[in-house]
Amino acid sequence: METYTRQTHVSITRLDAHTEEYKFPPFLQINRKVNCRKIIEGDEEEIAKANRYMKLHQPKRITEDDYITNINNCNNFVNRFGYNAYTVMEEEREFPIAFSILTFKDVDQTERLLRSIYRPHNFYCIHIDNSSSEEVHKSLRKIANCLSNVFIVSKTVDVIYDHVSRLRADIYCMNDLLSKSNKWKYFINLPHQQFPLKTNLEMVKILKIYNGANDIEGITNRPRLLSNRFQYSYKYINYTLKRIGLKKGKLPYNANIVKGSAYGIFSREFVKYVIFDEKPKAVLKYMEDFRSPDEYYWATLNHNEVLKAPGRFKGNPEKKPWLAVYASWHPRDRCRGKFVRNICIYGVGDLNELISRKELFANKFYPDYQYLALDCLEEYIHNKTFSPLPFDSFYYRQLPFIRKP
Protein backbone atom coordinates (compact mmCIF):
# COMPACT_ATOMS: atom_id res chain seq x y z
CA MET A 1 0.00 0.00 0.00
CA GLU A 2 1.32 3.42 -0.96
CA THR A 3 2.20 5.81 1.84
CA TYR A 4 2.56 9.58 1.78
CA THR A 5 4.75 12.13 3.42
CA ARG A 6 2.81 15.08 4.71
CA GLN A 7 3.53 17.87 2.26
CA THR A 8 1.39 20.83 3.27
CA HIS A 9 -0.36 21.35 6.56
CA VAL A 10 -2.69 24.17 5.72
CA SER A 11 -3.25 26.61 8.55
CA ILE A 12 -6.98 27.02 9.10
CA THR A 13 -7.84 29.38 11.90
CA ARG A 14 -10.53 31.63 10.42
CA LEU A 15 -11.78 34.19 12.88
CA ASP A 16 -13.67 36.19 10.29
CA ALA A 17 -16.11 38.80 11.52
CA HIS A 18 -17.77 39.10 8.13
CA THR A 19 -19.41 35.70 8.02
CA GLU A 20 -22.57 37.08 6.46
CA GLU A 21 -20.57 37.62 3.25
CA TYR A 22 -19.56 33.99 3.02
CA LYS A 23 -21.32 31.89 0.40
CA PHE A 24 -21.78 28.15 0.38
CA PRO A 25 -18.86 26.77 -1.69
CA PRO A 26 -20.00 26.14 -5.30
CA PHE A 27 -18.82 22.55 -5.06
CA LEU A 28 -21.11 21.97 -2.08
CA GLN A 29 -24.16 23.86 -3.25
CA ILE A 30 -27.37 21.96 -2.67
CA ASN A 31 -29.51 21.17 -5.70
CA ARG A 32 -31.85 24.11 -6.14
CA LYS A 33 -34.53 21.97 -7.75
CA VAL A 34 -35.82 21.46 -4.19
CA ASN A 35 -36.23 23.76 -1.22
CA CYS A 36 -34.39 22.29 1.76
CA ARG A 37 -35.91 24.76 4.19
CA LYS A 38 -39.41 23.62 3.27
CA ILE A 39 -38.36 19.96 3.48
CA ILE A 40 -36.91 20.44 6.94
CA GLU A 41 -40.06 22.27 8.02
CA GLY A 42 -42.03 19.16 7.02
CA ASP A 43 -43.74 20.55 3.89
CA GLU A 44 -45.27 17.38 2.41
CA GLU A 45 -45.60 18.88 -1.06
CA GLU A 46 -41.89 19.72 -1.15
CA ILE A 47 -40.99 16.28 0.26
CA ALA A 48 -43.03 14.64 -2.52
CA LYS A 49 -41.32 16.88 -5.07
CA ALA A 50 -37.90 15.82 -3.74
CA ASN A 51 -38.85 12.15 -3.94
CA ARG A 52 -39.95 12.56 -7.54
CA TYR A 53 -36.72 14.35 -8.37
CA MET A 54 -34.55 11.61 -6.83
CA LYS A 55 -36.34 8.92 -8.83
CA LEU A 56 -35.34 10.68 -12.05
CA HIS A 57 -31.85 11.89 -11.11
CA GLN A 58 -28.93 9.94 -9.72
CA PRO A 59 -26.76 11.60 -7.06
CA LYS A 60 -23.60 13.32 -8.24
CA ARG A 61 -20.89 11.54 -6.33
CA ILE A 62 -17.15 12.04 -6.03
CA THR A 63 -15.14 8.94 -6.83
CA GLU A 64 -11.95 7.81 -5.14
CA ASP A 65 -10.08 8.61 -8.37
CA ASP A 66 -11.46 12.16 -8.24
CA TYR A 67 -9.95 12.65 -4.79
CA ILE A 68 -6.66 11.02 -5.76
CA THR A 69 -6.35 13.08 -8.95
CA ASN A 70 -7.47 16.43 -7.57
CA ILE A 71 -5.71 16.53 -4.19
CA ASN A 72 -2.34 17.59 -5.50
CA ASN A 73 -2.47 21.03 -3.94
CA CYS A 74 -3.61 21.13 -0.34
CA ASN A 75 -4.57 24.79 -0.42
CA ASN A 76 -6.85 24.16 -3.38
CA PHE A 77 -8.38 21.16 -1.61
CA VAL A 78 -9.05 23.11 1.58
CA ASN A 79 -10.60 26.00 -0.32
CA ARG A 80 -12.60 23.87 -2.74
CA PHE A 81 -14.17 21.72 -0.04
CA GLY A 82 -14.72 24.54 2.43
CA TYR A 83 -12.50 23.36 5.30
CA ASN A 84 -11.59 26.99 5.94
CA ALA A 85 -15.17 28.18 5.80
CA TYR A 86 -16.23 28.41 9.41
CA THR A 87 -15.64 30.93 12.11
CA VAL A 88 -14.09 29.40 15.22
CA MET A 89 -15.41 30.88 18.43
CA GLU A 90 -13.11 31.18 21.42
CA GLU A 91 -15.42 28.90 23.40
CA GLU A 92 -14.83 26.17 20.81
CA ARG A 93 -11.09 26.75 20.66
CA GLU A 94 -10.81 26.28 24.42
CA PHE A 95 -12.70 22.98 24.28
CA PRO A 96 -11.19 20.69 21.60
CA ILE A 97 -12.98 17.43 20.78
CA ALA A 98 -11.40 14.23 19.44
CA PHE A 99 -13.22 12.03 16.93
CA SER A 100 -12.68 8.67 15.33
CA ILE A 101 -14.28 7.78 12.01
CA LEU A 102 -14.51 4.12 11.04
CA THR A 103 -14.90 3.54 7.32
CA PHE A 104 -14.42 0.91 4.67
CA LYS A 105 -16.00 2.42 1.53
CA ASP A 106 -17.71 5.56 0.22
CA VAL A 107 -14.85 8.01 0.53
CA ASP A 108 -17.14 10.86 -0.50
CA GLN A 109 -19.50 10.15 2.39
CA THR A 110 -16.57 9.72 4.79
CA GLU A 111 -15.03 13.01 3.69
CA ARG A 112 -18.41 14.71 3.96
CA LEU A 113 -18.76 13.58 7.58
CA LEU A 114 -15.22 14.78 8.32
CA ARG A 115 -15.94 18.14 6.72
CA SER A 116 -19.19 18.54 8.69
CA ILE A 117 -17.43 18.16 12.05
CA TYR A 118 -14.09 19.68 11.10
CA ARG A 119 -12.52 22.48 13.10
CA PRO A 120 -8.80 23.27 13.05
CA HIS A 121 -8.36 22.82 16.81
CA ASN A 122 -10.11 19.42 17.04
CA PHE A 123 -8.46 16.04 16.37
CA TYR A 124 -9.57 13.32 13.95
CA CYS A 125 -8.49 9.70 13.65
CA ILE A 126 -9.64 7.73 10.60
CA HIS A 127 -9.64 3.93 10.65
CA ILE A 128 -9.83 2.27 7.23
CA ASP A 129 -10.49 -1.46 7.07
CA ASN A 130 -7.50 -3.50 5.95
CA SER A 131 -9.71 -5.16 3.35
CA SER A 132 -10.77 -1.87 1.76
CA SER A 133 -9.58 -1.14 -1.76
CA GLU A 134 -6.24 0.49 -2.42
CA GLU A 135 -8.13 3.47 -3.87
CA VAL A 136 -10.02 4.00 -0.59
CA HIS A 137 -6.78 3.89 1.40
CA LYS A 138 -4.95 6.15 -1.04
CA SER A 139 -7.63 8.83 -1.29
CA LEU A 140 -8.21 9.08 2.47
CA ARG A 141 -4.48 9.27 3.12
CA LYS A 142 -4.21 12.13 0.65
CA ILE A 143 -7.05 13.93 2.45
CA ALA A 144 -5.40 13.39 5.84
CA ASN A 145 -2.08 14.65 4.50
CA CYS A 146 -3.64 18.03 3.82
CA LEU A 147 -5.00 18.59 7.32
CA SER A 148 -2.53 18.58 10.20
CA ASN A 149 -5.11 17.53 12.81
CA VAL A 150 -6.43 14.60 10.74
CA PHE A 151 -4.54 11.31 10.60
CA ILE A 152 -4.93 7.66 9.67
CA VAL A 153 -4.74 5.35 12.68
CA SER A 154 -1.31 3.81 13.18
CA LYS A 155 -2.66 0.27 13.41
CA THR A 156 -5.55 -0.98 11.29
CA VAL A 157 -7.60 -4.16 11.36
CA ASP A 158 -10.12 -5.77 9.08
CA VAL A 159 -13.34 -4.92 10.89
CA ILE A 160 -15.67 -7.92 10.96
CA TYR A 161 -19.34 -7.57 11.79
CA ASP A 162 -20.14 -8.74 15.38
CA HIS A 163 -16.43 -9.35 16.06
CA VAL A 164 -13.97 -7.85 18.57
CA SER A 165 -12.14 -6.21 15.66
CA ARG A 166 -14.80 -3.48 15.63
CA LEU A 167 -13.95 -2.65 19.22
CA ARG A 168 -10.20 -2.76 18.67
CA ALA A 169 -10.42 -0.25 15.83
CA ASP A 170 -11.80 2.37 18.22
CA ILE A 171 -9.27 1.52 20.92
CA TYR A 172 -6.39 1.98 18.47
CA CYS A 173 -7.75 5.42 17.60
CA MET A 174 -8.14 6.25 21.28
CA ASN A 175 -4.51 5.36 21.89
CA ASP A 176 -3.27 7.47 18.97
CA LEU A 177 -5.43 10.46 19.92
CA LEU A 178 -4.03 10.47 23.46
CA SER A 179 -0.51 10.62 22.03
CA LYS A 180 -1.41 13.36 19.55
CA SER A 181 -2.56 15.94 22.08
CA ASN A 182 -3.14 16.53 25.77
CA LYS A 183 -5.68 19.26 25.04
CA TRP A 184 -8.86 17.57 23.84
CA LYS A 185 -11.63 17.09 26.40
CA TYR A 186 -13.94 14.42 24.94
CA PHE A 187 -13.78 11.58 22.42
CA ILE A 188 -16.66 10.64 20.10
CA ASN A 189 -16.54 7.54 17.90
CA LEU A 190 -18.40 7.55 14.60
CA PRO A 191 -19.06 5.25 11.64
CA HIS A 192 -18.96 7.00 8.28
CA GLN A 193 -22.74 6.65 7.80
CA GLN A 194 -23.61 9.00 10.67
CA PHE A 195 -24.11 12.76 10.35
CA PRO A 196 -24.22 15.53 12.97
CA LEU A 197 -27.45 17.07 14.22
CA LYS A 198 -25.57 19.76 16.16
CA THR A 199 -22.95 22.30 15.20
CA ASN A 200 -19.51 22.10 16.77
CA LEU A 201 -20.34 25.03 19.03
CA GLU A 202 -23.51 23.30 20.22
CA MET A 203 -21.55 20.12 20.91
CA VAL A 204 -19.07 22.11 22.98
CA LYS A 205 -21.85 23.69 25.03
CA ILE A 206 -23.41 20.27 25.67
CA LEU A 207 -20.14 18.59 26.59
CA LYS A 208 -19.23 21.40 28.96
CA ILE A 209 -22.50 20.70 30.77
CA TYR A 210 -21.56 16.99 30.91
CA ASN A 211 -18.50 18.16 32.89
CA GLY A 212 -16.52 14.92 32.58
CA ALA A 213 -19.46 12.49 32.61
CA ASN A 214 -19.60 9.87 29.89
CA ASP A 215 -22.67 9.43 27.71
CA ILE A 216 -22.81 5.66 27.23
CA GLU A 217 -25.97 3.63 26.78
CA GLY A 218 -26.85 1.02 29.42
CA ILE A 219 -29.28 -1.90 29.05
CA THR A 220 -29.80 -4.49 31.78
CA ASN A 221 -33.36 -5.71 31.20
CA ARG A 222 -33.97 -9.04 29.53
CA PRO A 223 -34.57 -9.88 26.71
CA ARG A 224 -32.87 -6.69 25.48
CA LEU A 225 -29.65 -7.89 27.08
CA LEU A 226 -29.40 -10.62 24.37
CA SER A 227 -27.66 -13.03 26.74
CA ASN A 228 -26.96 -15.61 24.01
CA ARG A 229 -24.24 -13.27 22.80
CA PHE A 230 -22.16 -13.71 25.95
CA GLN A 231 -23.30 -17.03 27.41
CA TYR A 232 -21.45 -18.74 24.58
CA SER A 233 -18.01 -18.32 23.06
CA TYR A 234 -17.73 -17.30 19.41
CA LYS A 235 -14.91 -17.71 16.93
CA TYR A 236 -14.43 -16.42 13.40
CA ILE A 237 -14.11 -19.49 11.19
CA ASN A 238 -14.24 -19.54 7.38
CA TYR A 239 -15.58 -15.99 7.16
CA THR A 240 -18.35 -16.70 9.67
CA LEU A 241 -18.65 -15.99 13.39
CA LYS A 242 -19.54 -19.39 14.86
CA ARG A 243 -20.65 -20.46 18.32
CA ILE A 244 -18.07 -22.90 19.69
CA GLY A 245 -19.35 -23.68 23.19
CA LEU A 246 -20.42 -22.31 26.53
CA LYS A 247 -18.54 -19.30 27.81
CA LYS A 248 -16.17 -20.19 30.65
CA GLY A 249 -15.40 -18.15 33.73
CA LYS A 250 -16.97 -14.98 35.10
CA LEU A 251 -16.59 -11.33 34.30
CA PRO A 252 -13.57 -9.96 36.25
CA TYR A 253 -14.08 -8.05 39.51
CA ASN A 254 -17.57 -9.57 39.92
CA ALA A 255 -18.92 -6.91 37.57
CA ASN A 256 -22.29 -7.29 35.87
CA ILE A 257 -22.61 -7.44 32.11
CA VAL A 258 -24.41 -4.42 30.69
CA LYS A 259 -25.38 -3.95 27.05
CA GLY A 260 -25.29 -0.71 25.11
CA SER A 261 -24.23 0.79 21.82
CA ALA A 262 -20.89 0.59 20.08
CA TYR A 263 -21.00 4.39 19.96
CA GLY A 264 -20.77 6.88 22.77
CA ILE A 265 -19.34 10.08 24.16
CA PHE A 266 -16.28 9.46 26.32
CA SER A 267 -14.44 11.84 28.63
CA ARG A 268 -10.69 12.12 28.23
CA GLU A 269 -10.19 10.56 31.66
CA PHE A 270 -12.31 7.59 30.60
CA VAL A 271 -10.20 7.15 27.47
CA LYS A 272 -7.01 7.22 29.55
CA TYR A 273 -8.58 4.64 31.86
CA VAL A 274 -9.37 2.33 28.90
CA ILE A 275 -5.83 2.55 27.56
CA PHE A 276 -3.81 2.40 30.78
CA ASP A 277 -5.83 0.79 33.59
CA GLU A 278 -5.74 -2.94 34.26
CA LYS A 279 -9.46 -3.26 34.95
CA PRO A 280 -10.70 -2.45 31.43
CA LYS A 281 -7.90 -4.57 29.98
CA ALA A 282 -9.11 -7.56 31.98
CA VAL A 283 -12.72 -6.92 30.93
CA LEU A 284 -11.66 -6.70 27.27
CA LYS A 285 -9.76 -9.97 27.55
CA TYR A 286 -12.87 -11.67 28.92
CA MET A 287 -15.12 -10.22 26.22
CA GLU A 288 -12.95 -11.04 23.22
CA ASP A 289 -15.05 -14.06 22.28
CA PHE A 290 -18.44 -12.39 22.83
CA ARG A 291 -20.69 -11.80 19.87
CA SER A 292 -20.67 -8.01 19.33
CA PRO A 293 -18.40 -7.20 22.30
CA ASP A 294 -18.46 -3.53 21.23
CA GLU A 295 -22.08 -3.47 22.44
CA TYR A 296 -21.07 -4.67 25.92
CA TYR A 297 -17.61 -3.31 26.63
CA TRP A 298 -18.28 0.44 26.97
CA ALA A 299 -21.60 -0.14 28.74
CA THR A 300 -20.12 -2.58 31.25
CA LEU A 301 -17.25 -0.25 32.09
CA ASN A 302 -19.51 2.77 32.52
CA HIS A 303 -22.27 1.12 34.58
CA ASN A 304 -20.36 -0.93 37.15
CA GLU A 305 -19.29 0.87 40.30
CA VAL A 306 -16.74 -1.85 41.06
CA LEU A 307 -14.79 -1.02 37.88
CA LYS A 308 -14.28 2.62 38.97
CA ALA A 309 -14.35 4.13 35.48
CA PRO A 310 -13.96 7.93 35.44
CA GLY A 311 -17.19 9.68 34.48
CA ARG A 312 -19.26 6.52 35.13
CA PHE A 313 -22.99 6.50 35.79
CA LYS A 314 -23.93 5.40 39.31
CA GLY A 315 -27.69 5.04 38.89
CA ASN A 316 -29.95 2.53 37.15
CA PRO A 317 -28.59 2.17 33.58
CA GLU A 318 -32.11 1.77 32.21
CA LYS A 319 -33.02 5.24 33.50
CA LYS A 320 -30.07 7.03 31.94
CA PRO A 321 -30.84 8.99 28.75
CA TRP A 322 -28.40 8.36 25.90
CA LEU A 323 -27.72 11.24 23.55
CA ALA A 324 -24.67 10.25 21.54
CA VAL A 325 -26.63 9.17 18.48
CA TYR A 326 -30.23 8.76 17.39
CA ALA A 327 -31.34 5.77 15.34
CA SER A 328 -34.87 4.71 14.37
CA TRP A 329 -35.60 1.02 14.92
CA HIS A 330 -38.32 -1.19 13.50
CA PRO A 331 -41.04 -1.54 14.71
CA ARG A 332 -40.64 1.00 17.53
CA ASP A 333 -39.97 4.11 15.43
CA ARG A 334 -41.31 5.68 12.30
CA CYS A 335 -39.13 5.74 9.19
CA ARG A 336 -39.90 7.75 6.07
CA GLY A 337 -36.91 6.23 4.33
CA LYS A 338 -36.48 2.44 4.50
CA PHE A 339 -35.55 -0.15 7.10
CA VAL A 340 -32.44 -2.24 6.50
CA ARG A 341 -31.77 -4.90 9.17
CA ASN A 342 -34.38 -3.13 11.33
CA ILE A 343 -32.61 0.26 11.33
CA CYS A 344 -33.92 3.23 9.39
CA ILE A 345 -31.96 4.58 6.44
CA TYR A 346 -33.17 8.14 6.62
CA GLY A 347 -34.94 9.94 3.81
CA VAL A 348 -36.05 13.51 3.24
CA GLY A 349 -39.28 12.90 5.12
CA ASP A 350 -37.35 12.19 8.32
CA LEU A 351 -35.53 15.52 8.52
CA ASN A 352 -38.26 17.43 10.32
CA GLU A 353 -38.05 15.03 13.26
CA LEU A 354 -34.27 14.70 13.17
CA ILE A 355 -33.55 18.39 13.60
CA SER A 356 -35.71 18.46 16.74
CA ARG A 357 -33.79 15.63 18.41
CA LYS A 358 -31.54 16.25 21.43
CA GLU A 359 -28.93 13.73 20.26
CA LEU A 360 -25.65 14.90 18.73
CA PHE A 361 -25.64 12.58 15.68
CA ALA A 362 -28.06 10.57 13.55
CA ASN A 363 -27.48 7.06 12.21
CA LYS A 364 -27.76 6.21 9.35
CA PHE A 365 -27.62 7.58 5.81
CA TYR A 366 -26.78 6.01 2.46
CA PRO A 367 -25.14 8.26 -0.16
CA ASP A 368 -27.10 6.70 -3.02
CA TYR A 369 -30.50 6.42 -1.32
CA GLN A 370 -32.67 9.48 -0.67
CA TYR A 371 -29.48 11.48 -1.14
CA LEU A 372 -31.22 14.82 -0.76
CA ALA A 373 -31.68 13.99 2.93
CA LEU A 374 -27.93 14.33 3.47
CA ASP A 375 -27.76 17.36 1.18
CA CYS A 376 -30.46 19.20 3.11
CA LEU A 377 -29.15 18.20 6.53
CA GLU A 378 -25.71 19.45 5.53
CA GLU A 379 -27.22 22.74 4.42
CA TYR A 380 -29.12 23.00 7.71
CA ILE A 381 -25.98 22.47 9.82
CA HIS A 382 -24.07 24.90 7.61
CA ASN A 383 -26.68 27.63 7.98
CA LYS A 384 -27.03 27.05 11.73
CA THR A 385 -23.26 27.42 12.08
CA PHE A 386 -23.31 30.84 10.42
CA SER A 387 -26.55 31.96 12.03
CA PRO A 388 -26.62 30.21 15.42
CA LEU A 389 -30.00 29.61 16.95
CA PRO A 390 -30.41 30.42 20.66
CA PHE A 391 -29.04 27.46 22.59
CA ASP A 392 -31.45 26.15 25.22
CA SER A 393 -29.32 24.44 27.84
CA PHE A 394 -32.20 23.58 30.19
CA TYR A 395 -32.79 20.04 28.87
CA TYR A 396 -29.12 19.09 29.17
CA ARG A 397 -28.70 20.63 32.62
CA GLN A 398 -31.48 18.37 33.94
CA LEU A 399 -29.89 15.13 32.72
CA PRO A 400 -29.34 12.62 35.54
CA PHE A 401 -25.83 11.65 34.49
CA ILE A 402 -24.07 15.00 34.25
CA ARG A 403 -21.53 15.91 36.88
CA LYS A 404 -22.44 19.01 38.83
CA PRO A 405 -19.80 21.75 38.89
Q: Report which of 201, 213, 187, 196 is spatially closest to residue 99, judged by C-alpha positions.
A: 187
Q: Which of 64, 111, 202, 295 is catalytic?
A: 295
Q: Report which of 202, 122, 230 is spatially closest to residue 395, judged by C-alpha positions.
A: 202
376-380: Cβ within 8 A, 24+ apart? 376/30, 376/34, 376/36, 376/39, 376/40, 376/348, 376/351, 377/195, 377/197, 377/351, 378/28, 378/30, 378/112, 378/116, 378/195, 379/24, 379/30, 379/36, 380/36, 380/40, 380/351, 380/355
Q: Report which of 314, 306, 291 is spatially closest to residue 401, judged by C-alpha positions.
A: 314
Question: Which SS3 state, helix, strand or coil, does residue 66 take?
Answer: helix
β-partners of residue 226 are none
Q: For residue 294, what are the CA distances in angstroms to 172, 248, 277, 283?
A: 14, 19, 18, 12
Q: What are phi and psi of 229, to 5 degrees?
A: -75, -20
Residue 210 region by backbone torsions, left for phi larger than 0, else alpha for psi between -120 and 50, else beta: alpha
Q: How far apart are CA 321 and CA 401, in angstroms?
A: 8
Let me know if 20 is a catalytic residue: no
Which are the catalytic amino acids?
Answer: 295
